[in-house]
Amino acid sequence: MDLAFTKENEEFRQEIRDFLDENWPEEKRTGEVTEFGRDEYIAWHKKLAAKGWVAPSWPKEYGGPGWTPTQKYIFAEEMAKAETFNVLPFNIGMVGPVIYTFANEEQKKRFLPATLNCDIWWCQGYSEPGSGSDLASLRTKAVRDGDHYVVNGSKTWTTLAQHADWIFCLVKTDSEAKAQESISFLLIDMKTPGITVRPIITMGGDHEVNEVFLEDVRVPVENLIGEENKGWTYAKFLLMHERSGIAGTHVCKKALSRLREVASDKSLYGDAPILMDDAEFRRKVSEIEMDLMALEYTELRALAGEEAGKGPGAESSILKIRGTELQQRISHLAVEVAGYYAMPFQRGLTGNETPSGPEHTVDAAAGYFNKRKTSIYGGSNEIQRNIIAKAILGL
C-alpha cells in the first residue's frame, strides 16, 4: 500500500470532507460522549447508505462501494476526525458478511438490502450465562417441530438489544454431537412471542447491554443460515470480521489528539505548569503514540491482504488485543488529565445542572469504566492469544 497519497486519493478525501461538512453538524464534533436515540442513529446510517458508503468492506455486488484499501483507510480516518457515530457493527461488520457468504439466494434478497439500509437493526445472540469465552458450551436449544424450530434458553451481554428488530443467534440443535458440531445459526425476529429483553446497567451508568430470554420461541426453518449443525463455522467467520473492526485505530488517534490538546491548554491550569510539561506524562503519551502507529501499520497490512482476496485471518486477533489495550490506556490517561474532577459521578446531567470541573472531565471516569469491557468482548484477549499461538506461531 502506498502511504504517500496520490492526487486521486486526496481528491477522494476532499469528497468525504465535503459530504461530512454538509451532513454531519459541526456541533456534534465535540469529543464528548453523546447520548443519542435509535432514530437519530438510523438517520445517520441511512444517509451513508444512500451515498453508497455505509459498508466499505462489502463486495460491490452486495452494496459495497468498491473502494481500494487506501480509500477505506482515508474514509475511516475522516469519519473519526469528524467524530461521527459508528456504523452499526452488528449489521455491517457481523451478520451482513455471514449472510452474503453463507446464506441462500432467497435469504440474501430478503435480508441484505434491509441490513445495509438499517431497515433492520440487528443484535448479536452469542454469549450466555456460563458461555462467554467458551462459547461452544452454549445451552440455548432449538428443537425442530415441523416447519419451525422451538427455541428455549437465554443470552446475555446483548448490546443494544433494546433497539433491535432481529437477533442472529447461536443455538444448539443436536444434544448428542460434539459441542462444535451441534450448533446452528438462526435469524430470529425480536417481535416473536416468547422473547423478553431485560436491561443490564454498566459500571459507567450506561444501558448498552441486556439479557435476552427465549421461551418456546417459534422460528421458521427458512431462517436457518447455511446447514444445520454447521453454525460454528459461520460463528468463527463472523468473529474474525468483528475483531478486525474492534481495533478502532482512527478513533484512538482522535482521542489521543484531543487528550494532547487538553493537557496543553494553559487556560485549564492557571499558574500551574501544564500537564504536557511533565516528563512522565509525555513519556506515557509518546509510548501510546508509537504503539498506535505500529497497530495502524498492522491494520494496513490486513487491508492490503483483504484487497488481494484474503478474508480476515488470525491477524484480526492481533488487532483486537492491541486495539483494545490502547483504548484502555487512553481512557486511563484521560482520567489522569481530569485529575480529581474525575471523582464525582456526573453522567446524566440535566440542562440546569453545572458540571463540576471542565467539560472534558465529565465523562472521564465513565469512559474509563466503559473501556474495561473491550478486552473481554469479541472473544477475550486471553482467547485471542491462544489463537495467535496456534494459528500464527504454530505452538
Active site residues: 242
Maximum Cα interatomic distance, the chain, rounded to a whole number of Å: 77
Which DSSP letter does residue 104 get? -
Q: How far apart are CA 139 and CA 172, in angstroms?
A: 6
d(CA 300, CA 295): 9
Look at the block and give the residue holding cell 484499501. 69
Rg (alpha carbons) of the chain, rounded to whole number: 22
198, HSE (Cβ side, Cα atoms, 13 Å): 6
Q: Are 159 and 86 in contact (CB under 8 A)?
A: no
- Cβ contacts of residue 221 below 8 Å, gap of 6+? 144, 147, 148, 149
Is residue 142 within a helix (H) or strand (E), and if so which, with residue range?
Answer: strand 141-145
Please state, as a whole number, how many other Cβ atoms lie within 10 Å of the Cβ of residue 250: 19
Other C-beta atoms closer than 10 Å to the C-beta of 211 total 17
Tell me the DSSP string of 200-224.
E--TTS---EEEEEEEEEEEEGGGE
